[in-house]
Structure 1
Amino acid sequence: MYFPSLFLLLCVSLAQLSQEAVNGHGVKNKHTSGKGLLNLGFKSPLMHTKANLSDITNIKSSFEFRTLDPEGVLLYGDTQGGVEWFVLALRGGLPEMQIGKGDAIAIVTGGPRLNDGRWHQVQLRSEGRLVVLEVGGAPVLMVGLHSQHAVEHTMGQIRLSLGGLLVQELELFRPIQPQMDGCIRAGNWLNHNLTWETDLGEKGRLCLAEIQRGSFFPGTGLAAFNTSDFPVHQTNSSFITIEMEGPLAEWSGTALIILSSQYDPVLTITAQNRSKELKVLFHEHAVSVSEPLAKLSLSLSRYMVKIDLDNRIIRELYDDTHDWLARWHEGMVLAFGGVPENTNDIAADNGSGYLHGCVRQIRIQGREVDLDHALYKHSSVSSHSCPTSVGLLDP
């Protein structure tokens, strides 16, 4: 079967076009102090910097941080080009620190839950062989590591990055999803006047004054999965459920599309906020719903799709030309927020077919879908946060 290669090619093409869209502004690298308001979610890593160890007199950094994302990297640092390293991240909403030194790795997780959408004052400092994490002025975590084979270095360089890892092949004690949908401000890094480097140009993602839970699609990109990543046989079910929570009446654009391995549309859902209309197209059948409410649910069986709005059955559509459950198992493209159909259309980046709106929650077989685990996600899509008033951000 050639589909996995086809899907991989699709994701690589989308990623290249996304990067070209960023670089198309004519800005290769931008330098900043790292003290202002920064959104970590646009790129991984967002920024990076380096300094001579001989110039650093105090290993202490502080910043304010806000997120609704339960998992991702905040700060990474290393010396000797990654031989010795440190990571501050969130896992399950809790702070986690990992240290690698020589042949040893240490990890500690705990403290207060930080993915509550509020601003938190965070400080990291080194006390000899210990690293201490403070939140709100109170110590919450401490980790230490000593290796008999490690050598203390006061020469060379120290590297830092925000929102991602600088060493791709870094093997953490517990692997973690690096992308972080969050914001940092008031950064003070190593008590040193560091210059950070980023290639985002002037069009990075904004840090909003107020946020709410959900995934925000600004009308410029999509997130794509392989349906085989959601195995149905594990639930002993004869149908597949896909649920999306609104407000559906505020959506505009393509909310969902399923494409076969031959790249033919199987099911498409589009919305229009001006007419308050939702359209579902399944093979050759079409359904239009006016005044859609808060929750859309699709049940896809072998030859039928059932459409529910707020737990009320709207329509049942039949098509016995294909076994859609078998095709789901084999692998199809499941895309939220747009149509990955024609790369030329995507390169135009006019956003005409992309979704603009907040999706409060996406569930497949009752399990919440995290867009950070998509095989491809456009950098403009926020996985875990929406503006409280989407109408203020109309494209």
Structure 2
Amino acid sequence: MAMFWKAMADGLLLTLSITLLGWGVEGQGNGRGKKEVSGRANVYLGQDRDIWRPLIHTTVNFSEIRSIKSSFQLRTFDPEGVIFYGDTKNGEDWFVLSLKDGIPLMQISKNGILVSVAGGPQLNDGKWHTLEVSNQEQFVILEVDGSNRLVVGTGMLSKQEVLSGELRLAVGGILINKEKMIVQFEPQMDGCVREGSWLNLTIPWEVEAEELWPCYQHVQPGSYFPGTGFAIFNTSVFPIEADHGFKTELWGDFSKMHGTILSIKAPGQELMFTLVANNNTQEVTLTFGGEKISMRDTFKRLVITFQTDLLQALQDEDQSKTLSISPLSHPGYLTTWREGRLAVGGLLGEGEDVVGSEFLTGCLEKIQVQGRDLDLDLAVKHPSISSHSCPA
């Protein structure tokens, strides 16, 4: 991920109402207050939690293991996140499979020696892929869709070594300190795992959440807002230059959106800019200061350019549909924005308050700010928002 988006200012405080959607996956209890599910369950990896903690995990005695092979299906548009973890000796020796830039990344620690390797096909294409991880003497092998093998030769495993004790497995997180890994990455993934066959065992897995959120049956690229929260950035992460202005581009079916798409607020000032879709009137309204522009919601792309003496809204790259506002009542507004807030999917109020009825419902297929894709994983956001996929 580009460092451009990582320069978020410290100390951003945001109180979000954690109102989940009532989604659930049936599970059994285990007498310890934890629900249990089958290893073949559908697991949405992006569910709200401590982002490094697994969603499901299990422990098995080595005496029960007959096959050092696990397989499962993965579907994601997200280029980065942890998928599968396993360890022995209570975390002294461990294995992590993740995605980095959409490519499989395996990291292994054995007897204090660390090895990592990345390669294979791009997996963040939104299609279901079958992954199989196996251990064959001195090699750990990853197969994707029956081929495209990624092999790690550790050179550390003795054929005479007798494994004993317990093996821990986890999906969607790790059970060790993240600092132990060679390659650091953002852990939470907007993706799904299903049809798991873990070491050919049928033991149940413990669930760390009260309920597992299910996966959408069909997905498309984008960021999905279910009407329960928003994402917020410090505008200081965006290079705003008065001479060249500030440009935001939004893609999606605006006729299927309802609520606040975008709002911007400078520190200590009233809300300066909003973009709101209204399904009832079938209009999209842009408000800047006390001035408004209303547009029919039939377009699929909107480019908003903020300049010192002009604000322009261009629909579907059709120059005949360019609307303008001259911000004479806000001289120097671009300078004040540099320490402000930009919210996607909600209306900024006093402090960081928002009006619940103003949350966006709908899919933004793509968001760009200053010509760069906006990654909502790097925002402070409500956990119900899917950063990389929308229901299709």
TM-score (norm 1): 0.83
For residue 113 of structure 1, report the CA deviation from its aligned partner.
Answer: 1.9
Q: Among residues 230, 241, 253, which one is paired with 2:238 in the alignment?
A: 230
Q: Among residues 94, 100, 103, which one is paired with 1:85 in the alignment?
A: 94
Structure 2 unmatched runs, 5+: 1-7
Map of 1:360 onto structure 2:
365
**1-side partners of 2:162 and 2:312: how far apart?**
64
**2-side partners of 1:120 and 1:78: how far apart?**
24
Is structure 2 residue 60 aligned with structure 1 residue 51? yes
**1-side partners of 2:350 and 2:202: how far apart?**
46
The structure-2 alpha-carbon separation of the partners of 1:344 and 1:377, relative to structure 1 and needing over 3 Å to count, comes to: closer
Equivalent runs, 1:180-259 vs 2, <5 Å: 180-202=189-211, 204-232=212-240, 238-259=244-265
The structure-2 alpha-carbon separation of the partners of 1:363 and 1:160, relative to structure 1 and needing over 3 Å to count, comes to: same
Map of 2:46 onto structure 1:
41
**2-side partners of 1:354 and 1:205: how far apart?**
21
Is structure 2 residue 302 aligned with structure 1 residue 306? no
Is structure 2 residue 355 aligned with structure 1 residue 336? no
Q: Among residues 268, 277, 301, which one is paired with 1:271 in the alignment?
A: 277
Question: Are 1:282 and 1:317, in contact at CA under 8 Å, matched by a contact in 2?
Answer: no
Question: Are 1:70 and 1:93, in contact at CA under 8 Å, matched by a contact in 2?
Answer: yes
The structure-2 alpha-carbon separation of the partners of 1:191 and 1:5, relative to structure 1 and needing over 3 Å to count, comes to: same
The structure-2 alpha-carbon separation of the partners of 1:6 and 1:30, relative to structure 1 and needing over 3 Å to count, comes to: same
The letter of the residue matching 2:143 is E
Q: Among residues 158, 163, 176, which one is paired with 2:167 in the alignment?
A: 158
Structure 1, residues 201-249: CA drift from partner, whole Å, max 9, x if none? 34x443222221111111122222111122246xx96211011111111
The alignment partner of 1:117 has SS state of coil
The alignment of Structure 1 onto Structure 2 pairs a total of residues equal to 369
**2-side partners of 1:199 and 1:251: how far apart?**
33
Question: Are 1:101 and 1:146, in contact at CA under 8 Å, matched by a contact in 2?
Answer: no
For residue 343 of structure 1, report the CA deviation from its aligned partner.
Answer: 9.4
Greater mean alpha carbon deviation, residues 362-371 or residues 318-327: 318-327
Question: Are 1:79 and 1:85, in contact at CA under 8 Å, matched by a contact in 2?
Answer: yes
For residue 105 of structure 1, report the CA deviation from its aligned partner.
Answer: 2.1
Map of 1:112 onto structure 2:
121
The alignment partner of 2:178 has SS state of coil
Question: Are 1:59 and 1:190, in contact at CA under 8 Å, matched by a contact in 2?
Answer: yes
The alignment partner of 2:335 has SS state of helix
Map of 1:381 onto structure 2:
385
The structure-2 alpha-carbon separation of the partners of 1:254 and 1:237, relative to structure 1 and needing over 3 Å to count, comes to: same
Structure 1, residues 166-216: CA drift from partner, whole Å, max 9, x if none? 3353343222121211111111112223322224334x4432222211111
The letter of the residue matching 2:107 is Q
User: More helix per residue: 1 or 2?
Assistant: 1
Question: Are 2:121 and 2:148, in contact at CA under 8 Å, matched by a contact in 1?
Answer: no
Question: Are 1:283 and 1:319, in contact at CA under 8 Å, matched by a contact in 2?
Answer: no
Question: Are 1:303 and 1:324, in contact at CA under 8 Å, matched by a contact in 2?
Answer: no
The structure-2 alpha-carbon separation of the partners of 1:327 and 1:33, relative to structure 1 and needing over 3 Å to count, comes to: same
Equivalent runs, 1:271-290 vs 2, <5 Å: 271-290=277-296
Question: Are 1:278 and 1:292, in contact at CA under 8 Å, matched by a contact in 2?
Answer: no
- Please, what is the CA RMSD of the aligned residues? 3.1
Question: Are 1:260 and 1:333, in contact at CA under 8 Å, matched by a contact in 2?
Answer: yes
